[in-house]
A = this chain, B = another copy of it.
Amino acid sequence: MNIPRTSYPRVIIIGGGFAGVALAKKLSKQEVQVVLLDKHNYHTFQPLLYQVSTGGLEPDSIAYPIRKVLQDFPNFYFRLANVEYIDTTCNTVKTNIGNLKFDYLVLASGSATNYFGNSEIEKHSMAMKTIPQSLNLRSLILENFEDALLTSDLNERNALMNFVIVGGGPTGVELAGALAEIKKGILPKDYPDLDTRLAQIHIIQSGDRILKGMSNKASAKAEDFLEKLGVNIWKNVRVTKYNGKTVTTNTDLTFETQTLVWAAGVKGATINGLDSADFVTRGNRIQVNQYNQVKGFEHIFAIGDIACMKTEDFPNGLPMMAQPAIQQGEQLGNNLLQLIDEKPMKPFVYKDKGSMATIGRNKAVVDLKKYKFQGVFAWYVWMFVHLFFLIGFRNRMVVFVNWVYNYIRFDREARLIIRPFKSIHRVEEE
């Protein structure tokens, strides 16, 4: 990789998510050379992926070119690369486009879908962690409805129109709510020759409440909202098998569906060379100290979802969410400059700004430290916060226009099968 060596120390950041971008911004205009590596040339605003899947937003409005984030920073280098190996003895990152030495390395590679070793489910289910995955899900949902029109087999038609979401976290809840609104507002108009009332949306949750990272009040209200929208919630049920048609669980329950969305777990996206038991802890995340340093190294760090920082309040590590990632990225920026100047670093203290989830039109739940509220006001707060954290004025404007339009018209116009999923990928697989 032909990146010139300068007199400045070189910091390699792996991953342009919330953590990586926050760190890179902090280091801009400082006397360090920053090299950011990512397999995409854009930053993804993951909290809104479910709206891409359900036709409410275009993918381009929740993505932002990484090169643009740091356009004015002279010591910034971006490379589109897959990192294959981290050589900690030679301080070298090995990638598909060549190797690069670092003075400081920051792992910000985020998280990946956790199938808990079930390769059959991995093969047949849909994930929603990246923009291409979300577009695949969008295509599949629409292709299934087109196919439902063609079959006279009632069981097959139901399987095409049913949706099973495994996992009752924010992703599962928000997706279920959006699907319920599509079922109610769009399907009857788009498919008048199909009895879309038969379409069923299921959330399967292994625990005894959904949104288990939030307050009991939020969970209860979210369940209430979902049930009013007609979503079926199955608690204390675990999915054990899925062959592309039938979902088997640890109970008597089975579901017929051609669309299983796996939102039941994430794990750290570790990289070869730092993936041994010396470094990796619960959830496949890399254990870090309070300065985000990886055990045994002064100059190798991990931030965001990939980093497991255990605190008193979070003995299993900080939650895998945007806020800890952004805060760690920002603080590591300051700490790295301190370290380079041979000054003491400051330990990271997580400021819990709360969490929230939307269920649908006028329906959201918000847990702040002091206040917990649900309903219309929570929904406005949810929208405001998401618009605020989106990167880029254009993205905010386009998302805002879409939301206003969708709200007024009860519509989601991006129901476009731009790259068919089923006819291409599913056939290739088999």
Contacts and interface: CB of A to CB of B under 8 A. Distances in A.
Given A394-B405, A413-B68, A131 B418 contact: yes
A2 B152 contact: yes
Q: Which of A60, A64, A395 has the most CB of B within 10 A?
A: A60
Contacts of A191: 67
A142 B80 CA distance: 10
Given A65-B415, A418-B132, A397 B392 contact: no
Contacts of A63: 416, 418
Query: What 8 A-B pairs are tightest by C-beta distance, nearest first?
Result: A58-B60, A58-B58, A67-B190, A60-B414, A394-B405, A80-B146, A71-B189, A42-B416
Contacts of A413: 60, 64-65, 68, 392, 394-395
Contacts of A65: 190, 413, 415-416
Interface in A88-115: 97-98
Number of chain copies forming the complex: 2
Contacts of A42: 416-418
Nearest to A135: B418
Q: By DSSP majority rule, is chain A's interface helix, strand, loop, or mixed? A: mixed
A368 interface: no
B405 A401 contact: no
A333 interface: no
Interface string A394-425: 11011001100100010101111111000000
A397 B401 contact: yes
Nearest to A52: B60
